[in-house]
């Protein structure tokens, strides 16, 4: 059973992060659910900034699943080569285009159970698409979210699915998507894996891990950064 005090403190952190990052948003550029799905797959082991530099040309040439399924492998690989692991990603995207075309009539499914049947799509990617493209609440557990959830004392789990389920018990579903964005932004900007900027963090009053990084405000401020490109 979830501790009522833990839930209260967790929601205080959520409100503080919302004040810290009032302009929080998905940092992948997209205009359709299909574009978001592809961009999220490309973002594996790659920065959002790099993906955003690649996708305009990619989506111009392959604007829908049918076009993507018919892509020439060498052309596709050339377009996405700078995102890393481009051969594996190209294989995934070709299979994704085919599956969406053949099984879902070119539409992006709107349930988690259906999304995770697609090539390259796990719960993390599915929850990104559901939350950002369709407004369906979901918790996105990437490396940043998992690290901060453990630091905040919301969970001790290492498995992303178990993290997702335990954190979900602390917050109402309406907050899940914005919570994911806020925690990920905080992990990218302040709560780093090494030397978190504790002294420049406005959730320190409720964070059990306060002190893992410099607590002096001036020192901590030097650690605050924008995500690298």
pLDDT at 3: 81
Q: What is the mean pLDDT of the chain?
A: 96
Number of domains in the chain: 2
Joined together, the tokens standing for residue 142 give: 């990437």
pLDDT band at 1 (very low <50, low <70, confident <90, very high): low
- Per DSSP, helices labelled H in the chain are 4-20, 33-42, 48-61, 65-69, 73-80, 86-103, 112-115, 123-134, 143-151, 160-168, 176-189, 217-221
Q: Answer for the pair 55, 29: CB distance below 8 angstroms, yes or no.
A: yes
pLDDT at 228: 55
pLDDT tens per residue across span 12-69: 999 999 999 999 999 999 999 999 999 999 999 999 999 999 999 999 999 999 999 9
229 domain residue, yes or no = no
Question: How far is CA 226 from each of CA 33, 40, 128, 189, rounded to the nearest angstrom?
Answer: 26, 20, 21, 6
- What's the half-sphere exposure (Cβ side, CA atoms, 13 Å) at 127? 21
Residues known to be catalytic: 124, 142
pLDDT tens per residue across span 123-132: 999 999 999 9
167 domain residue, yes or no = yes
Answer with the one of 80, 105, 134 that is the final residue of a domain: 134
Residues 103 and 152 in one domain: no
pLDDT at 134: 98
pLDDT at 99: 98
Residues 82 and 130 in one domain: yes
Interatomic CA distance for residues 23 and 3, integer angstroms? 31
Domain span including residue 120: 33-134
pLDDT tens per residue across span 73-116: 999 999 999 999 999 999 999 999 999 999 999 999 999 999 99
Burial class of 206 by CB neighbour count within 10 A (0 to 12, 13 to 18, 19+): middle
Residues 130 and 143 in one domain: no
pLDDT at 2: 72
Tell me the CATH number at 66: 1.10.340.30
Joined together, the tokens standing for residue 7 give: 């839930």
Instruction: Please identify which residue in the block is written with the tokens 């609440």.
Output: 137
Interatomic CA distance for residues 205 and 21, integer angstroms? 18
Res. 229: pLDDT tops 80: no
Interatomic CA distance for residues 24 and 30, integer angstroms? 16
């Amino acid at each position: 059973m979830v501790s009522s005090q833990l839930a209260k403190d967790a929601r205080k952190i959520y409100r503080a992060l919302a004040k810290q990052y009032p302009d929080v948003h998905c940092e992948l550029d997209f205009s359709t659910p299909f574009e978001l799905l592809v961009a999220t797959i490309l973002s594996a082991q790659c920065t959002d900034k790099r993906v955003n530099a690649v996708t305009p040309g990619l989506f111009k040439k392959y604007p829908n699943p049918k076009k993507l399924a018919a892509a020439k492998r060498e052309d596709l690989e050339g377009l996405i080569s700078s995102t890393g692991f481009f051969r594996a990603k190209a294989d995934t995207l070709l299979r994704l285009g085919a599956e969406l075309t053949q099984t879902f009539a070119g539409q992006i499914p709107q349930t988690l159970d259906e999304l995770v049947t697609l090539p390259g799509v796990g719960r993390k990617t599915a929850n990104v698409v559901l939350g950002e493209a369709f407004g369906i609440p979901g918790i996105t557990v990437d490396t940043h979210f998992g690290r901060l959830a453990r630091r905040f004392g919301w969970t001790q789990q290492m498995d992303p699915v178990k993290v997702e389920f335990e954190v979900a018990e602390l917050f109402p579903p309406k907050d899940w998507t914005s919570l994911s964005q806020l925690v990920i932004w905080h992990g990218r900007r302040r709560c780093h894996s090494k030397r978190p900027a504790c002294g420049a963090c406005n959730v320190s009053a409720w964070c059990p891990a306060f002190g893992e990084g410099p607590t002096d405000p001036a020192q901590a401020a030097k650690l605050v950064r924008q995500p690298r490109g």
